[in-house]
Chains A and B, each alone.
Chain A
Amino acid sequence: DIQMTQSPSSLSASVGDRVTITCRASQRISRYLNWYQQKPGKAPKLLIFAASSLQSGVPSSFSGSGSGTDFTLTISSLQPEDLATYYCQQSYSTPYTFGQGTKLEIK
């Protein structure tokens, strides 16, 4: 199985900050990498697919990059509503696997 490792596991940032979350795959997965946002008590929501494609309706403050084994999710200007846990997920091969999550708190 492909292991996905996110860092950091948690972070605290201020409104307006630029935030970066990284995700590393245990083997090369090309661009088969997706990012999700999960707010407390809610279902996850797709943010980015295929490493860098922004899902329709997602603010342009979110962006993704990377290929191979190393990927990043960037929030260019943090907003209060971005409080959530963020997950990466590989779709290179089944079993599809998620990172352990990054809990983002607002200072």
Chain B
Amino acid sequence: AQTVTQSQPEMSVQEAETVTLSCTYDTSESDYYLFWYKQPPSRQMILVIRQEAYKQQNATENRFSVNFQKAAKSFSLKISDSQLGDAAMYFCAYSEDKIIFGKGTRLHILP
């Protein structure tokens, strides 16, 4: 069965600094999709970034980028120039027809 592991329950970063959130997954499939979702205190789930497994190029969305290592089954999220509004719970997710989420990393932004 597919699993998603986020080994950092909580992290803190100084405002304007860069932080990397880790995610590993386990699958025997070669074609799949990976996501990072953000859940602010409002509890609304927001898509941050998406990566197709068949694409070698790492996805980027403004200040957010990923380091996708398919052989290592690793999918980390880098947030550059951290802002107070980035404070949230971040979930890594693996997708085929179902979507499996990790347990999340709570990110604190220090002013």
The answer to whether A and B belong to the same complex is no
Q: Which residues of A are at the interface with B, using a C-beta cutoff of 8 A?
A: none
